[in-house]
Structure 1
């Protein structure tokens, strides 16, 4: 984890804040090329009822349509929260590279339980339980606390 990683993760937290400000669950993600260029960024769009509208899934779709397999393999996905199983699988299927996250699935499930939020119908699994041989880094304590506060704000509404 270096200063460039932290810069990109901060942007993900900003995108999660944007999602919250628009009434959505606070998640944000960006795709960065092997050369360091930001190629795609997005935040959650599940408020309309389609719970597949995660930014990590959108990144996987975009990458599949706009990048070669070689480019995908050296790209990095940065995200405010560790991928869910659906997004992990999409990431693995399109052959994207490294994942760096601010907060982990374990942290999120703990926070949601503390807030009295009902458990999801989809199992909370770490990325490595879904995708073999993937490079994953995170969480980042300072940023994880910011993400926690966004979830507290969302679920406190």
Structure 2
């Protein structure tokens, strides 16, 4: 996929994250794309749903599977506003997603105010070392803004 298209898809993921924050949700959005076509979008609904696994990437993958009537998303790519966690990367691999591209790294998210636990960071580092570049960062200026907005609004 060319860099202009990738940039537009990542911008859309960041826009979804920003809209989710404005609606009271957490600052993450994602899309599942196959052959240049968006199959589904998702936002983090963990707080509103009470479901700790309702991350944006998981919601987008679930919606894409439902839309296609299959549990496989072979050769699809997930575009995410934030660096996907271990759970979301494992889910994507399990359903055949070819790659994940994200706008904001975990380190950038932490600087912007996302509260990572030490255990989460340890698991993420181990997974990243083992996964060998499955998820990579794209270039989207000001992509951390939804996280900063969310962090500022927290009590």
TM-score of the superposed pair, with normalisation by structure 2:
0.80
Q: Does 1:138 align with 2:137?
A: yes
Aligned residues: 147
CA displacement at 1:105 relative to structure 2: 1.4
Unaligned runs of 5+ in 1: none
Give the RMSD, CA atoms, in angstroms.
2.5
**Aligned 1:53-132 pairs, distance under 5 A:** 53-65=54-66, 66=68, 67=70, 69=72, 72-112=73-113, 118-120=115-117, 122-124=119-121, 125=124, 129=128, 132=131
Unaligned runs of 5+ in 2: none
Change (3 A) 1:120 1:51: farther
Moved over 4 A (4+): none
What SS is found at the alignment partner of 2:47? coil
Change (3 A) 1:2 1:28: same
CA contact (8 A) 1:84 1:127 kept: no
TM-score of the superposed pair, with normalisation by structure 1:
0.79
